[in-house]
Structure 1
């Protein structure tokens, strides 16, 4: 099955259309979904407010919707490439917004918070991690991206919770919640169709970004991610998974096992390097030695810290303050 071009769709099923929107940053695209819903359509995710996206959506609305409106807007999680135009779509179509509570309020918080406060949080994480001065200067001068790429959300929303049932096009879809990549990411499963709209939880070719965030510096998102993935093992192996990045695939259990093995390998690599105490930044470099661009160091650091915190949670690694006041991590025992 070929991915759709921008401004076009590919029919996965007669009432389920695949949309792919380009992004300026890796992974350079996001998949969105249109589900026929009675006299209208349910739209799942939107891409970001970036050049070209609105024109591509206009083309889809003109050529695919068959004169029917978008009657519900569902955003799987707070990341800019998923929720970026959700507020715009709600206003344009006078459609309600469906999200989990955590993702809705986190997006509202990021839109409302002073960018200087967010920048200071990121600087604090970088300083505690022992990041180089060049990266800290980069953070000091970086513009706030979230507000520029996400349109304001409506002042109210319809909450989605794990286990909720949604009737879409006469079929039952059950809400599944993914964690780790985002705190309460919405996925949808239809047993009748054997289809899982998996958002960023289980991707076909890469692991989703699992990183410690500046507003929860003691978080353990990797443990959340691994436990959350196990919650999808009750679905059939031949479930058709519709991911937010990459192409639709089957082999759900096989993919979950690969993701677990991938992170187990990284954890073992990191643990083996901690006979000598390392700062979070230096430990993260063990996993990502070749990434040098300042624009990518926040991802390197976040993912490295997620693996460190997982090792702390399992008792394999301890954290101690060094003579310079910076926390350092070493293997226990």
Structure 2
């Protein structure tokens, strides 16, 4: 176990004026103390974003864990190493999960099985996760889901590829405990002699929990605010007319009002940072720029969801990568649904069931 010392603040270009005051990050399976009784580690995960940050809060009677990693053999190995390093060989007595995405909840059931612990999650995140787990065992892709992708302009090959990956959610999440304890906005938890307040937002996921400790000036932000990338905000086939972008922007503005700027933000990915308000302002400004680009393009001609990828994303979106293609589709649709609700776009459906959007 190591202690993470503070270094000189490092300015991060393009990140809204935030700084990274900590001099290094932990390796996979390494336990690092960043504040009294607050430990940081990383769990490996597949893909370009190859890690998730997880947090262990030590108490007199045990250790509380916040987020867990995706259910993989590599994550299991990292957790086995971490458990051996827990100070005083304390047991894990509480598992908190910020939200239901597999890289956050995937190992929660495994940990609760290994060391029987209370399992905490917001109600919407827990219920949505259970639904997605159940759907992953369907015999085939629901026709509503196929229609959703067809309406976005997916080619037949992408739809076939998605069919082969439809059940992947269940493979990435160890079965959840059948009972849970409900996290709610404003709820407080006494851990390690400090009070941690639950702060709930939405947009990236239905009822995302962050954890704020005023005394230590720490905010565990999950995926609600990240230092160098934007949280994916997606419409899914399960709720095709949702407006998660409006929810996310409202949550960011509310978070800026609720949490001081001088907290050390402990995000789910990348590095810890200071400058919460600057980062929120940068995220909102970036999204507003995307809306402006879309408005201009949709004034020029009608477009499908897939036609917007080049405008919204800085890298090519390949249809042979079902996960990335789905995320890009969901986020582009989220932007369109936002503009639809503000009556800025219209939609027409052609004979093939494909939606074409144009500025109103």
TM-score w.r.t. length of structure 1: 0.95
Instruction: Assess if the C-alpha contact under 8 Å between 2:141 and 2:163 holds in 1.
Output: no
Instruction: Assess if the C-alpha contact under 8 Å between 1:173 and 1:189 holds in 2.
Output: yes
Q: Displacement of 1:316 after TM fit? A: 1.5
Instruction: Check if 1:41 corresponds to 2:39.
Output: no
Identify if the C-alpha distance between structure 1 residues 325 and 82 changes in structure 2 by more than 3 Å, giving closer, same or farther: closer
Paired residue for 1:68, among 90, 93, 105? 90
Instruction: Assess if the C-alpha contact under 8 Å between 2:31 and 2:85 holds in 1.
Output: no
Aligned length: 332
Instruction: Decide which moves more: 287-296 or 161-170.
Output: 287-296
Q: Displacement of 1:92 after TM fit? A: 1.3
Counterparts of 1:188-207 in structure 2, within 5 Å, are 188-207=211-230
Q: Displacement of 1:218 after TM fit? A: 0.5
Q: Displacement of 1:51 after TM fit? A: 2.3
Aligned to 2:162: 139
SS of match in other structure, 2:283: helix
Instruction: Check if 1:312 corresponds to 2:312.
Output: no
Aligned mates of 1:45, 1:134 — CA distance in 2: 35
Instruction: Check if 1:97 corresponds to 2:119.
Output: yes
Aligned to 2:81: 59
Q: Displacement of 1:189 after TM fit? A: 0.4
Instruction: Check if 1:283 corresponds to 2:308.
Output: yes
Aligned mates of 2:337, 2:169 — CA distance in 1: 26
Paired residue for 1:269, among 284, 293, 298? 293
Instruction: Assess if the C-alpha contact under 8 Å between 2:109 and 2:175 holds in 1.
Output: yes
Aligned mates of 1:138, 1:132 — CA distance in 2: 10
TM-score w.r.t. length of structure 2: 0.88
Paired residue for 2:350, among 300, 306, 322? 322
Q: Displacement of 1:321 after TM fit? A: 2.5
List gaps (5 residues or longer) in structure 1.
none
Aligned to 1:11: 33
**CA RMSD across the alignment:** 1.6
Instruction: Assess if the C-alpha contact under 8 Å between 2:71 and 2:173 holds in 1.
Output: yes
Aligned to 2:252: 229
List gaps (5 residues or longer) in structure 2.
1-22
Instruction: Assess if the C-alpha contact under 8 Å between 2:45 and 2:74 holds in 1.
Output: no
Instruction: Assess if the C-alpha contact under 8 Å between 2:43 and 2:79 holds in 1.
Output: no
Instruction: Decide which moves more: 191-200 or 142-151.
Output: 142-151
Identify if the C-alpha distance between structure 1 residues 181 and 117 changes in structure 2 by more than 3 Å, giving closer, same or farther: farther
Aligned mates of 2:340, 2:166 — CA distance in 1: 34
Identify if the C-alpha distance between structure 1 residues 22 and 120 changes in structure 2 by more than 3 Å, giving closer, same or farther: farther
Counterparts of 1:147-296 in structure 2, within 5 Å, are 147-234=170-257, 235-275=259-299, 276-288=301-313, 290-295=316-321, 296=324
Could you list the runs of 4 or more consecutive aligned residues of structure 1 that deviate by over 4 angstroms after TM superposition? 117-121
Instruction: Decide which moves more: 40-49 or 316-325.
Output: 316-325
Q: String of CA shifts for 1:107-149, please: whole Å, max 9, x gaps.
A: 1111122334556443221111121122112112225211111
SS of match in other structure, 1:82: helix
Instruction: Decide which moves more: 167-176 or 247-256.
Output: 167-176
SS of match in other structure, 2:40: strand
Q: Displacement of 1:279 after TM fit? A: 1.8
